[in-house]
Amino acid sequence: MRLRKPIVALSTAGLLALAACGGGSSDSGSTDTSKDVNKDTLGNTGNGQDPTAEGPVTIPGAQKGGTVTVLTSTGLTTPIDPSDLYYTDTNGIMTSLVTRSLTQYRYDEKTKQMILVPDIATDLGTPNSDYTSWTFTIRDGVKWETGDPVTADDVAFGISRGMDNKTFPNGPGLYYSNPYFATGDTYKGPYTDKGKLCTCVTVDGNKITIKMSKPFPDLPYYASFPAMGPIPQDKSISDPAKYRQHPMSTGPYKIKEYTPAKTLVLERNDQWDPATDPARTAYPDAYNFKAGQDLEKTDQILLADTGEGQTTLTYDDVLAQDYRKFKENGRIVLGGSPCTYFISPDYRKIKDKEVRQAIAWAYPYKDAILAGGLIPDVTAIPASQLMPPGIPGRETYNAVPGHGDFETDPEKAKQLLQQSGNEGFEIKFLWRTDNPINTQTKDVLIKALEKAGFKATAVPTTEAKYVEDRDDVNSDINYRTYGWCSDWPSGATWIPPIFQSTDLKTVGFGTNEAGFNEPAIDQKINDVFSLDADKQPAAWQALENEVMTKYFPIVPQYYTGVAQAHGSKINGHFDDNTLGTPTFRNIWISQ
């Protein structure tokens, strides 16, 4: 999933692990942050499922009322139309508070994990024997904000609508609905195909059946996306141009006011029945999201903790220089987010594995993280593999023999370069000249690479053109950095996007930013998909192990963590580690 976070260093995003406030030890002079986040559970998302969960949900001692203010710097700039929604922040806000899908996640305080539970479906779906057909039963008593009942036909329309890639180019349908659902390769959606619905979805009373073109054992996870929820069939309401301004609510809150990139005001939706909802609590009366906020200002408001600041929270990470103060006052939420940042050396231009391994030794992990304003071990957690901890089937391995966490050793890099006859190999990477922090991290990188026997060249670009230049397969660079977040805890959302070859001429890198292309691996990826569901997790891990050990196409930099602050009257703010956003479903205000 794509992420939306302020540009501190490289741009970051998020998932959940350790939510409880910092424990007992808070000696301020300490330089050791390595215990702040529990690294074993980083990506531990939905490794629990509870198909029988029922509403209503209550939190002992929680009080009703109040308005929660949420401040963010870069949030709310991406679409909130459920069919077009594929960014972590809007996903967290909309699925927790406004729109309901077939399934959803519930925060479990005991394990500090998100658990997959039903939403408007009565359970987590019933597959056939080879996972090519899934059936869900839609709950009674789920209503639109207008009071009309939500029907299985509404859900079928929503699923078809999400497959209209032309109308909704940002949505997840392009990556999951169309490739997996039967006829998804030819069906173009209700708008492009003039009112036709996908024949892959059939409705029988309150039962809905989705047929697949290939096995899709992870569908219950995908079913938690807004694109897998109901959309009103009335054309005058769900017209894409109008609906993106005001998606209809099925959840506990409805949209009162929405200005993209500025504000989102939510008020209570009295048509929502808690008894039908196995995860949402909805204690506050209203939510007020304010985007485009200055990070320093947000930190100061939350540190001062007066007036409205007491009922304010942010899903941006606190600035490194304020971290110690927040840790002392305990109003900080730490945890993981399901994202990995890595270097993608251009597989076409950097042909020797030794050079890529030399980069792993030469890269100044800690220096770049500090200079970039991230907090080592808190918002940037040591990584040496692609999939973050907690993904089912994950096992540790070592693709670069002897390489430890955040270890930089120019001598080892030099040795590798010498052995492979690549001394003075030129690394060319992008430098955003108008970004002062990037200018400094560039200096740090050049120094480290040159010390390790590389020749380092920074190719100038600007903040505005950066992504375009990076994604251009013809750019005169051979070193790119990229981040990826899982859509749900499964190797299927990691290995294919990053390691499957793409047609560079027609689609470009896609999400395989290294341009990694090995037909043997492409074949093995397809083989894993045809395995039994229970064998897939181990098979994905084995495949990652093979790719990384044999080819080492990417150099992992770090897993992301979150460090979100909140006011003293906010309760229930934990880290939703499926997204790295606050657990909006659990928040309440002490009066």
Partner 1 sequence: MTTTSAGDLETAELAGEHASAVELVAGRSPTQIAFERLRKDKVAVVCFTIVMLLVLLAILAPVITNAMNIYWDIQDPNAPNPSEVINFDGYPLIGPPDHGFIWSHPLGLAPRVGTDNLAFVLYGLRTSLIVATIATILTTIIGIVLGLLAGFSRGWLDRLLSFTIDLFLTLPYLLVALAVAPIIVSRFRNNVNDLGKVQAASLILILVAFGWMGLARLIRGQVLSLREREFILAAEVIGVPTRKVLFKELLPNLVAPIVVATSLALPGFVAAEAGLSFLGLGLTGIPSLGKMISDATRYYSDYPLYLWVPVSVVAILVLTLNLLGDSIRDAFDPKTRE
Residues that bind partner 1 (CB under 8 A): 29, 31-33, 296, 319-324, 364, 366-367, 370-371, 373, 375-378, 431, 433-434, 436, 439-440, 443-444, 446-448, 450-451, 458-462
Cβ–Cβ under 8 Å, residues 150 and 195: no
Query: What's the alpha-carbon Rg for the chain, to the nearest Å?
Result: 23
Nearer to partner 1, 246 or 366 (CB): 366
Longest CA–CA separation in the chain, Å = 72
Nearer to partner 1, 272 or 479 (CB): 479
Integer Cα distance of 150 and 231 in angstroms: 9
Closest CA to 223 of 102, 86, 139: 102
Rounded to a whole number of angstroms, the minimum distance from the CB of residue 561 to partner 1 is: 12
SS3 9: coil
Integer Cα distance of 548 and 516 in angstroms: 11
Nearer to partner 1, 420 or 457 (CB): 457
Rounded to a whole number of angstroms, the minimum distance from the CB of residue 525 to partner 1 is: 37
Integer Cα distance of 180 and 193 in angstroms: 19
Rounded to a whole number of angstroms, the minimum distance from the CB of residue 121 to partner 1 is: 44
CB-neighbour burial class of residue 535 (10 A; exposed 0-12, middle 13-18, buried 19+):
exposed
Rounded to a whole number of angstroms, the minimum distance from the CB of residue 291 to partner 1 is: 20
Rounded to a whole number of angstroms, the minimum distance from the CB of residue 68 to partner 1 is: 27
Nearer to partner 1, 33 or 49 (CB): 33
CB-neighbour burial class of residue 206 (10 A; exposed 0-12, middle 13-18, buried 19+):
middle
Rounded to a whole number of angstroms, the minimum distance from the CB of residue 37 to partner 1 is: 12
Nearer to partner 1, 248 or 417 (CB): 417
Kindly give the residue spans of alpha helices, DSSP state H, lying in 232-319. Answer: 235-238, 240-243, 295-304
Cβ–Cβ under 8 Å, residues 439 and 469: no
Cβ–Cβ under 8 Å, residues 488 and 220: no
Rounded to a whole number of angstroms, the minimum distance from the CB of residue 301 to partner 1 is: 14
Our measurement of the distance from residue 144's CA atom to the centroid of its chain's CA atoms, rounded to an integer in Å, reads 28
- Angle at alpha carbon of residue 562, lines to 560 and 565, rounded to 5°: 165
Rounded to a whole number of angstroms, the minimum distance from the CB of residue 501 to partner 1 is: 30
SS3 462: coil
Residue with tokens 């350790």: 18
Q: How many CA atoms lie within 13 A of 549 on its CB side?
A: 11
Rounded to a whole number of angstroms, the minimum distance from the CB of residue 376 to partner 1 is: 6
SS3 312: strand
DSSP single-letter state for residue 272: -
Cβ–Cβ under 8 Å, residues 558 and 342: no
Nearer to partner 1, 223 or 360 (CB): 360
φ/ψ of 335, rounded to 5, equals 170, -170
Nearer to partner 1, 336 or 364 (CB): 364
Rounded to a whole number of angstroms, the minimum distance from the CB of residue 508 to partner 1 is: 21
Nearer to partner 1, 268 or 366 (CB): 366
φ/ψ of 71, rounded to 5, equals -105, 140
DSSP 210-237: EEBSS--TTHHHHTTSGGGS-----HHH
Closest CA to 152 of 201, 208, 209, 222: 208
Nearer to partner 1, 159 or 320 (CB): 320
Rounded to a whole number of angstroms, the minimum distance from the CB of residue 457 to partner 1 is: 8
CB-neighbour burial class of residue 65 (10 A; exposed 0-12, middle 13-18, buried 19+):
exposed
Integer Cα distance of 106 and 278 in angstroms: 8
Nearer to partner 1, 323 or 484 (CB): 323
Rounded to a whole number of angstroms, the minimum distance from the CB of residue 362 to partner 1 is: 13
Nearer to partner 1, 316 or 322 (CB): 322
Integer Cα distance of 271 and 147 in angstroms: 6
Rounded to a whole number of angstroms, the minimum distance from the CB of residue 411 to partner 1 is: 15
